[in-house]
Each structure stands twice: as structure tokens, then as C-alpha cells.
């Protein structure tokens, strides 16, 4: 079965992922994914921070089935009840006043960049430059590739969108030096995920917020990976106590159904007027039903608080492993249930592979850091098991 799927993939699918891990999942339940051969795997990656509710959560599945029986899509030519209600939920649980829906994190980030540019255009100001950070990841569209501070993603697509540049993270002086009278916005991940889970310092974020306010520069937080309870708060801005003018979210917002959102304070959001931006699928009845169900389950089951508690417990267990293997585990970092375990370069790939072979799903970032972003339903037994398996993998290399 798996062999046949691999052959079809190699014959018909564009080779953008190369040789994937040799497994194909047929179903899931809670923290577990079950392969087509019946083998169970524990999902500590959560579809890359997407499956916040775990797999096949019964209340989530009921909500999706109920909506499927009613309506899937109409278009934005008409009012959409679920869309309006999900926008309300996002505003009530964040620093935003207005919301616009789209289909992915990359599209949300591009929408945020457009909003920043048009905000100054309508003020009659020639401010169009956007500053991002080295090692960042904001998406794979042409605009978000320009914003992504990793040359390996940018090189094939030059010339890139003009007016976008990167500076060193956690260095306020580097950022100040890059600002010109054309600077419209600074866009950052408060915790860089794809590069290996690198948090910004709270002092840096506070200085950045003050500097942007003083100089009339918009501050954008890319919360695609850190949003929807991941850090133990609904959004990482609440974790750090620093609030942007615009933020984006996606991934866990739909619990596996594609949806993204651009969220902004009133003054900035008002720059988008009829015809300035649009979307065919964004915020359709089905996708926003998924988002409403995610919010409902997070609230009813206390999963944001669980992410905070389990994140603290996870860090304790991982640091205990680090103490046993100080030469192999270089650093453990993160917030809530977004955690990076940086390993010695010579063993990282082998450890990651061993964990996969033992039935634990993680990702290896930058060749040296194991990234964990499990469902927010995770419990202490799951974490104890992970720590034990990690120790076993470290012993084996």
C-alpha cells in the first residue's frame, strides 16, 4: 500500500517535498495517528501547530458535519453568519478591532503587508518599506518570501519585492539603523518557529513597540504558529504583554481546515475600503464554522490553560533530560507548547530519525533543533513518555 502511494507521488506530484518520511496516515484519534498498516504514532508536531484539538475531536467533527449538511460556500458577495461571529471571537480574544479572513498563513501575512502599505498610501505618505528579521519565516508567496529572512528560500526568486529588508533579531539598534523615512512597518514572529523555536526577548519587544509608536511605524506580529493558545495564552502578544497594530493567524485557527486571518486595530483596519482587497474562499461558511468550533472547544475544555501548564511541565522534563546529556542537548527553549530542543549537530538527524522509528512525530529544524508543537490536549503521561523516548534516542547515538 505505502509503496504504491510513493510510486504515485513520484510519478504525478511535483517534487517539492523530496523523499518524505515513509509513512501514510489513514486515521487519527487524540494524540495518535494510525498509519495505513495499522501502526500507531504519537503526534508531537500537531500537523506543524495546526491540530490544536488533536485528531478527530468528536465535538469538532460534529460541528463540521453539521455545517456540511447546511452550506459550504457562497462567496463574499453575501453576508456570512459564521464569518461575522468568528471575527467577533477573534476581536474579543485579542488586541484587534477588525478582522479579514483568507486561506493560509502566507496569505494572511501578505494581506498584513498590503494593509500596512495602503495605510500610508491613503495618508499621502510615501512609506512602503517593511523590515523583518533574519532567520524568519513568513510564507512562500513572492511577497512573503521577500519577507522571510532566509537566503535559501529567496535565492531562486530574485529579484524580490523591493522595499523589504531583514535585520538581526533581538537587536534594537540594528533595527533602528535600518529604518528610513520610507519605513512603513516592522513584521516579526515573536517566536521564530521554522528556524528552530527562537523567542524574542521581552525587553526587545517592548523597546520595539515603543520605537514603532514614537516613529509612526506599524508593528505587525506574525502569529500564524504562536496563535490560538499555543503559548499558553490565546496569542503570544498576551504572553509577552506587548501588542501590535496588526497581527496574523492561521494554522490552529481552523483545526485542520484551511483558514487565515488579518487582524488589526481600528485606525489601521480602516485603510482597507471596498475594492482594496478581496478573497473568493476566505472566511467561507465551512472554514469559519471550523474556527468557531475551535474557539468553543478551547474555551470549554480549558485547553489554553492546559497548554500553559503542560508547557511548563514539558520544559521541566526536557531540562532534566538535558542535565543527563549536557553534551548532546545544547538548549531547550520556547513558550507553552511550542518548544525547540537544540542538539549537537552531529547527532541531531539520527535522534530525530530514531524517534520516528520509535513512533514519535517531530520535525527537525535547521538540521539541529527538534521542534515540538503537539495538540493542546496533551497530558503528563504523554510528556513523560516523550521525555523517556528522547533519553532512549540520545543514548543510542
Residues marked active site are found at 137, 222, 251
Sheet holding 360-361, edge to edge: 25-29, 32-35, 40-43, 360-361
> In Å, how far are 76, 126, 277 from 274, measured between CA atoms?
12, 22, 7
Using CA atoms, how far apart are residues 312 and 302, in angstroms rounded to an integer? 16
Rg (CA), the chain: 21
Q: 340 near 332, Cβ under 8 Å?
A: yes
How far apart (Å, rounded) are the C-alpha atoms in residues 185 and 171? 17
Per-residue cell: 323: 542535565
Grid-cell match 453575501, residue found: 78
Amino acid at each position: 500500500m505505502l509503496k504504491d502511494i510513493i510510486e504515485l507521488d513520484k510519478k504525478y506530484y511535483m517534487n517539492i517535498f523530496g523523499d518524505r518520511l515513509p509513512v501514510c496516515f489513514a486515521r487519527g484519534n487524540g494524540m495518535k495517528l494510525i498509519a495505513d498498516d495499522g501502526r500507531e504514532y504519537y503526534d508531537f508536531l500537531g500537523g506543524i501547530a495546526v491540530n490544536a484539538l488533536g485528531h478527530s475531536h468528536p465535538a469538532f467533527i460534529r460541528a463540521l458535519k453539521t455545517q456540511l449538511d447546511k452550506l459550504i460556500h457562497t462567496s463574499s458577495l453575501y453576508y456570512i453568519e459564521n464569518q461575522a461571529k468568528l471575527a467577533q471571537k477573534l476581536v474579543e480574544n485579542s488586541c484587534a478591532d477588525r478582522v479579514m479572513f483568507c486561506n493560509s498563513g502566507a496569505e494572511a501575512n501578505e494581506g498584513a503587508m498590503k494593509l500596512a502599505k495602503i495605510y500610508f498610501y491613503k495618508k499621502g505618505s510615501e512609506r512602503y518599506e517593511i523590515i523583518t528579521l533574519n532567520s524568519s519565516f513568513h510564507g512562500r508567496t513572492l511577497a512573503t518570501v521577500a519577507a522571510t529572512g532566509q537566503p535559501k528560500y529567496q535565492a531562486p526568486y530574485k529579484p524580490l519585492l523591493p522595499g523589504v529588508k531583514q535585520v538581526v533579531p533581538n537587536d534594537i539598534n540594528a533595527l533602528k539603523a535600518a529604518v528610513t523615512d520610507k519605513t512603513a512597518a516592522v513584521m516579526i514572529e515573536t517566536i521564530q518557529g521554522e528556524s528552530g523555536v527562537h523567542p524574542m526577548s521581552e525587553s526587545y519587544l517592548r523597546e520595539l513597540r515603543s520605537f514603532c509608536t514614537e516613529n509612526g511605524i506599524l508593528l505587525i506580529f506574525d502569529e500564524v504558529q504562536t496563535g490560538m493558545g499555543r503559548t499558553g495564552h490565546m496569542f503570544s502578544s498576551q504572553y509577552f504583554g506587548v501588542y501590535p497594530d496588526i497581527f496574523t493567524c492561521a494554522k490552529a485557527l481552523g483545526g485542520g481546515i484551511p483558514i487565515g486571518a488579518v487582524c488589526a486595530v481600528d485606525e489601521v483596519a480602516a485603510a482597507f475600503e471596498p475594492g482594496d482587497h478581496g478573497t473568493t474562499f476566505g472566511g467561507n461558511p465551512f472554514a469559519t464554522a471550523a474556527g468557531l468550533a475551535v474557539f468553543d472547544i478551547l474555551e470549554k475544555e480549558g485547553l489554553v490553560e492546559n497548554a500553559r501548564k503542560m508547557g511548563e511541565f514539558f520544559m521541566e522534563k526536557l531540562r532534566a533530560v538535558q542535565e543527563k546529556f549536557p553534551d548532546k542537548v545544547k538548549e531547550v527553549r520556547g513558550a507553552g507548547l511550542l518548544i525547540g530542543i537544540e542538539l549537537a549537530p552531529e547527532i541531531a538527524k539520527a535522534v530525530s530519525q530514531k524517534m520516528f522509528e520509535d513512533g514519535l512525530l517531530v520535525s527537525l529544524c535547521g538540521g539541529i533543533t527538534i521542534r515540538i508543537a503537539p495538540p493542546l490536549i496533551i497530558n503528563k503521561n504523554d510528556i513523560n513518555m516523550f521525555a523517556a523516548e528522547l533519553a532512549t534516542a540520545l543514548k543510542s547515538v
